[in-house]
């Protein structure tokens, strides 16, 4: 029987103070992992440490888009604990606006966190993980929006497509017995990513909030995704789709163009109706 990938092992989770990161921290702790959590939210990290106790061996306030800060963080962790057995590149943000309405500043912001943050984690920890012996795991959190262009959030979709593509490349770079890559593609799950993100206007914000509210009403929780991550590591699975829209977005990639356009047009009509409802809510508010 192979060694437990969690019990007693160091697991680094970026964006670990809330949302998916916090849920993964709880799930990993339940399996006996020793957690290193990083986030820009120091209060959230403190709450995680208080909730999980000795399972959290280290926390650090770090902006994953800051290359020098990430390099210092990684060097500190490698010196303190050695190479982690699990690295989860989870930290992420959202921008809700049309592509031509997304400012250069917002393009730089979302790309720095959602793409370069993942790249920095891989570059700064990956080599040591590969050399440490035993199977290590790099988990990249992508999205259903990374499986097909999501026209309601093009900047976000672009970054998650990049994460998915990088993960596919990494899948064939390494010997799975040394370093295994996993990519997780959730659909809509209620977290703070929309409320803490940037939006072009109040209607875009309201539309995002409505989608999150629908996910919450459907009984979805970050624990669903955390459980899927644990299962992917246990079963050594590369790609994990969470929720039906993730499976739908993957299916769309393989349809002939005329069917794909028809499906996206139907989805666009649904989004347009939701946008009208969101605009009405803003006007009435």
29, 36 Cβ separation under 8 angstroms: no
Angle between helices 244-253 and 257-284 (to 10 degrees): 140
Catalytic residue among 120, 156, 164, 243: 156
Q: Is 156 a catalytic residue?
A: yes
Residues marked active site are found at 156
């Amino acid at each position: 029987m192979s060694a437990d990938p969690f019990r007693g092992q160091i697991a680094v989770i970026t964006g670990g103070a809330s949302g998916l990161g916090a849920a993964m921290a709880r799930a990993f702790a339940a399996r006996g992992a020793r957690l290193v959590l990083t986030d820009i939210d120091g209060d959230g990290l403190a709450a995680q440490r208080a909730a999980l106790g000795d399972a959290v061996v280290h926390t650090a306030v770090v902006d994953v888009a800051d290359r020098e800060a990430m390099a210092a963080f990684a060097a500190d962790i490698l010196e303190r604990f050695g190479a982690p057995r699990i690295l989860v590149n989870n930290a992420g943000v959202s921008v809700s606006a049309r592509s031509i309405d997304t400012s250069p500043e917002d393009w730089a912001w979302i790309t720095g966190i959602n793409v370069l943050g993942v790249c920095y984690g891989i570059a700064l920890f990956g080599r040591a993980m590969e050399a440490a012996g035993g199977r290590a795991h790099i988990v990249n959190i992508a999205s259903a929006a990374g499986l097909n262009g999501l026209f309601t959030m093009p900047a976000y979709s672009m970054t998650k497509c990049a994460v998915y593509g990088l993960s596919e490349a990494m899948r064939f770079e390494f010997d799975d017995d040394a370093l295994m890559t996993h990519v997780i593609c959730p659909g809509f799950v209620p977290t703070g990513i929309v409320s803490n993100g940037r939006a072009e206007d109040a209607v875009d914000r309201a539309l995002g909030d409505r989608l999150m509210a629908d996910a919450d009403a459907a009984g979805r929780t970050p624990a669903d995704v955390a459980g899927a991550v644990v299962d992917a590591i246990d079963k050594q699975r590369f790609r994990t789709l969470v929720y039906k829209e993730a499976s739908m977005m993957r299916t769309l990639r393989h349809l002939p163009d005329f069917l794909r356009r028809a499906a996206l047009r139907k989805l666009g009509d649904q989004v347009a109706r939701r946008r009208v409802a969101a605009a009405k809510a803003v006007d009435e508010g």
